[in-house]
A and B are shown apart, each in its own frame.
Chain A
């Protein structure tokens, strides 16, 4: 009896995790409730165009370009990988093979004031000890995403929804729901999935895949 219960719990856990990781792999942040089978999915988006918002990306405060995580040569400006640049013995990767050059974390946008205006460029060099605008230890000349990468809007918000994951037995045909509270249900039966949401409560087809477009999100 004990063994059967443990196996059932293990099976349930496996099926729920299958759904949870599917949701995460689709780009949602997934939040779980320790004491129920309800999960919350969330995404931070631009209010205007719904593009994903990335608080981990940094933008140049002069032109809005993101940090592309490349070194530029202090002499010839050629770009090279941060991770494949030979450790501390960095060398200019261009054909010029510049002597006495240093790697800088500059904005790559050629039209950025920090690349166009010599006076501004000199000040960036001065305040970052010539390490570049995106140098993490000096200057403060970049900011966590402030403008949408797609449309330039400067407002973001979270969209989120609750999903109840219900594991059904093969013979179980009763779909218990409470849409006054929960936004979505995913019923799992025989490794197939049935999604109901508060806007569409009449679906009755178990499918092989989880179609995330059927989820209600606000």
Chain B
């Protein structure tokens, strides 16, 4: 029998009865339970910081493990030991919304720059609870689709600020699209196949994809062309002219060729500046960092610093 993924794991629940701000736990657990049903171990973060779930499964490297199975011992067919697949999931759940032209619905979602790390084992999962569909994108595929279909999206100021809502994924006549690209390859069982692909466990493939993500980040995230930096409040009335923009861009691009010694020197000279300040100001800066010693910052842990930050 063909594998069904996802299945309705909580049939007693009507998701429309949830208020959207209270639905996160239900939705993430809905996704988690579906992966458990498909043989994955699902780990949830102790702190809600970055990755929403880590999922792990053990499969035969020769492909003898079915999509909904996980090994606990050598492969029964070829006797090879299992290999581990680890994936880092970012989950977004949204209700699809009818477009103004009523031709279809869109699935709005927001990712932030910090979600785009260069580890290609990061996957984005968009859950449409109304249609019970999972769209599962490897981070690199998502970036490639977005740069191809929504030129400049990653370069906008709003994206860099972490609040650029993306409405480009559409549900029209029972099919999913990003602009005009069909998303069947990322939908439900096809998405499960992508996330279970063991090629990412191959080191050379890992590095290759990692570099592809890096290249996209560098070309898109520090591209100033589509930001308010260049366009000002409207594209017709740019804040700066083309010549100024090019100078700006070239200056930013120089960072790409810097070597290790440059960054070592940068940490040292910046630390000298901070460490020459009074103790309270030093500490005020250092407390923002998980490990101030990494940045060679001196600080006094006993100094309290509990006033509120000013609003801009």
Flag if A36 contacts B41 (CB, 8 Å). Answer: yes
Q: Let me know if A196 is at the binding interface, CB within 8 A.
A: no
Flag if B258 contacts A33 (CB, 8 Å). Answer: no
**In the complex the two chains form, what is the Cα distance from A42 to B240 in whole Å?**
44
**In the complex the two chains form, what is the Cα distance from A83 to B309 in whole Å?**
5
Indicate whether A149 sits within 8 Å of B295 (C-beta atoms), given known contacts A31-B43, A154-B214. yes
* Chain B residues whose CB sits within 8 angstroms of the CB of A181 once the complex forms: 58, 71-72, 82, 84
* Chain A residues whose CB sits within 8 angstroms of the CB of B240 once the complex forms: 123, 126-127
**In the complex the two chains form, what is the Cα distance from A8 to B64 in whole Å?**
41
Binary contact readout A68-85 vs B (1 if CB under 8 angstroms, 0 otherwise) = 111000000001111111
Flag if B214 contacts A155 (CB, 8 Å). Answer: yes
- In B21-69, the 8 Å CB interface with A consists of 36, 41-47, 49-51, 53-54, 56, 58
* Chain B residues whose CB sits within 8 angstroms of the CB of A38 once the complex forms: 41, 43
Could you tell me the dominant secondary structure of chain B's interface residues? mixed
**In the complex the two chains form, what is the Cα distance from A42 to B43 in whole Å?**
11
Q: Let me know if A66 is at the binding interface, CB within 8 A.
A: yes
Q: Let me know if A32 is at the binding interface, CB within 8 A.
A: yes
Flag if B310 contacts A90 (CB, 8 Å). Answer: yes
Q: Let me know if B217 is at the binding interface, CB within 8 A.
A: yes
**In the complex the two chains form, what is the Cα distance from A40 to B54 in whole Å?**
8
Q: Let me know if B74 is at the binding interface, CB within 8 A.
A: yes
Q: Let me know if A178 is at the binding interface, CB within 8 A.
A: yes
Flag if B310 contacts A138 (CB, 8 Å). Answer: no
Q: Which listed segment binds A: B5-13, B95-103, B130-138, B282-290?
A: B282-290
Indicate whether A68 sits within 8 Å of B285 (C-beta atoms), given known contacts A56-B114, A139-B157. yes
Flag if A162 contacts B41 (CB, 8 Å). Answer: yes
* Chain A residues whose CB sits within 8 angstroms of the CB of B221 once the complex forms: 143-144, 146
CB contact between B73 and one of A87, A156, A180 (< 8 Å): that residue? A180
Within the complex, the shortest CB–CB distance from A160 to chain B, in Å, comes to: 6
Flag if A180 contacts B81 (CB, 8 Å). Answer: yes
Binary contact readout B67-100 vs A (1 if CB under 8 angstroms, 0 otherwise) = 0000111100000011010101000000000000
Within the complex, the shortest CB–CB distance from A89 to chain B, in Å, comes to: 9
Q: Let me know if B273 is at the binding interface, CB within 8 A.
A: yes
Flag if A32 contacts B46 (CB, 8 Å). Answer: yes
Flag if B227 contacts A140 (CB, 8 Å). Answer: yes
Binary contact readout B155-173 vs A (1 if CB under 8 angstroms, 0 otherwise) = 1110011000000000000
**In the complex the two chains form, what is the Cα distance from A69 to B277 in whole Å?**
14
Flag if B284 contacts A70 (CB, 8 Å). Answer: yes
**In the complex the two chains form, what is the Cα distance from A31 to B251 in whole Å?**
41
* Chain B residues whose CB sits within 8 angstroms of the CB of A62 once the complex forms: 251-252, 254-255
Within the complex, the shortest CB–CB distance from B122 to chain A, in Å, comes to: 8
**In the complex the two chains form, what is the Cα distance from A93 to B284 in whole Å?**
14
Q: Let me know if B110 is at the binding interface, CB within 8 A.
A: no
**Residue among B45, B211, B311 with the highest chain A CB neighbour number at 10 A:** B45
Indicate whether A127 sits within 8 Å of B54 (C-beta atoms), given known contacts A52-B291, A87-B307, A157-B119. no
Flag if B310 contacts A20 (CB, 8 Å). Answer: no
Indicate whether A149 sits within 8 Å of B263 (C-beta atoms), given known contacts A31-B54, A52-B291, A144-B113. yes
- The chain B residue with its CB closest to the CB of A48 is B260
CB contact between A158 and one of B44, B49, B119, B227 (< 8 Å): that residue? B119
* Chain A residues whose CB sits within 8 angstroms of the CB of B264 once the complex forms: 150-151
* Chain A residues whose CB sits within 8 angstroms of the CB of B53 once the complex forms: 31
- The chain A residue with its CB closest to the CB of B158 is A140
Within the complex, the shortest CB–CB distance from A73 to chain B, in Å, comes to: 12
Indicate whether A139 sits within 8 Å of B229 (C-beta atoms), given known contacts A123-B240, A150-B263. yes
CB contact between A87 and one of B46, B222, B308 (< 8 Å): that residue? B308
**In the complex the two chains form, what is the Cα distance from A136 to B222 in whole Å?**
15
Flag if A33 contacts B119 (CB, 8 Å). Answer: no
Flag if B284 contacts A81 (CB, 8 Å). Answer: yes
Q: Let me know if A119 is at the binding interface, CB within 8 A.
A: yes
- The chain A residue with its CB closest to the CB of B210 is A155
**In the complex the two chains form, what is the Cα distance from A70 to B282 in whole Å?**
9
